[in-house]
Amino acid sequence: MKIQTRYLLPRLLAVFLPLIPWTPAYADYAARADVSAFVEEIAVRNQLDAAPIHAALSRASHNPRVIELIKPPATRGARSWRRYRSRFIDRIHLDAGLQAWTQYAANLRRAEKEYGVPPEIILAILGVETIYGRNTGNFETLSALATLAFDYPPRAELFRGELEALFLLAREQERDPASYSGSYAGALGWPQFLPSSVRRYAVDFDGDGRVDFNADGNDAIGSIANYLREHGWVAGAPVAVKAQVAPHADPAPFIEAGVEPSLTPARLAEAGIHPLGDNPHAGNATLIDLETPGEDVEYWLGYRNFYVITRYNRSNFYAMAVFQLANALRDSRSGGFVPESRAAPKKAAKPASRAKARVKAKAKVRKPAQRRKTRR
């Protein structure tokens, strides 16, 4: 009997190919030419031994989840300030923040004295970033940064710099580069500093001889305050104030001017844009629009300190959430703020008898109820 090999070969391949181990090109980073070139480059630049770096990268693995998380969404939904704000101005953040304020009160006061940054701003950043150390991330930093540095071209340059900083940080702290863990983007510990920021801005605020962003919040408090001061924080200056935009005003050109405070009070006033409040700040501002679908746009004027917060995370929503959480923490500590989630529930009405119910029904027919005015 003649065997028709042209039909047999595809069947054999279909059976045995799945059994052959398949390794994608990015699996063994140490074997890649581009990775080897990177290792040699940073070894020469920083007087490092290339062999341990090669060895460390041979243990790193490509993490597809990292790529999924860092990619911008295929379709962007409508921006919603109300939805974004609700993630941070809530009972969980306030309770944890007030507890942290009590626990770290002495170091918060010292940070304000040394760096000029109020306790509530430092605490708000810690709250927004990790809920005071609760959510610092569980991605292996070495593998996350290797994945982004070598397998995500849109931001490869940035993350190659952070991967280099990780190796330098590990040398300085005498740690295994693979021992760090954090966010999918390589951010570390309570304050979510990238390795380059740890090397540049971190301070040993508790004086124990090392910077530790995982054990507690002490070093994070001093490091955040130092970061903000180094980026231009002005002690005692305002952050932001609500703005009133006249009906005839066109805010678009002022919003497009960017987050850098460049708009003078005179220019804003001429355009019909005014700060609300009794003591307007005389400095330059930026106009911020906080949009929520189905609601009027909320306008704010952000000053130099608002801009400084955006150096921590370059998002107006982020900076405003930090500012408002800071205010809520300060007011809650003094007993002046009650979040919606803390409001006492209305007491349930007692069941009425049938006779009383009929009387109430008749009363409602005779006298229509007034509408309650609602605020937007």
Catalytic annotation, residues: 129
CB 97 within 8 A of CB 127: yes
* C-alpha torsion sign, points 205, 209, 212, 215: negative
| Rounded-to-integer distance, Cα 361 and Cα 363, Å | 5
The residue written with tokens 């304050």 in the block is: 191
Tell me the DSSP string of 50-83.
HHHHHHHHHH----HHHHHHHSPPSSPPPP-HHH
Angle (CA) 44 49 52, round 5° = 130
Of the candidates 241, 353, 222, 230, the one whose C-alpha atom is nearest the C-alpha of residue 298 is 241
The residue written with tokens 């074997």 in the block is: 31
Edge-to-edge strands, sheet with 273-275: 273-275, 240-245, 298-302, 286-290
| CB neighbour class for 214 (10 Å; exposed up to 12, middle 13-18, buried from 19) | middle
Of the candidates 162, 175, 212, the one whose C-alpha atom is nearest the C-alpha of residue 190 is 212
CB 32 within 8 A of CB 25: yes
Bridge partners of 289, per DSSP, are 299
Structure tokens at 278: 């009794």
Total Cβ atoms within 10 A of residue 315: 13
The backbone torsions φ and ψ at residue 9, rounded to the nearest 5 degrees and listed phi first, read -60, -45
Angle (CA) 10 14 16, round 5° = 115
Structure tokens at 123: 């605490």
The backbone torsions φ and ψ at residue 20, rounded to the nearest 5 degrees and listed phi first, read -85, 125
Three-state DSSP class for residue 27: coil
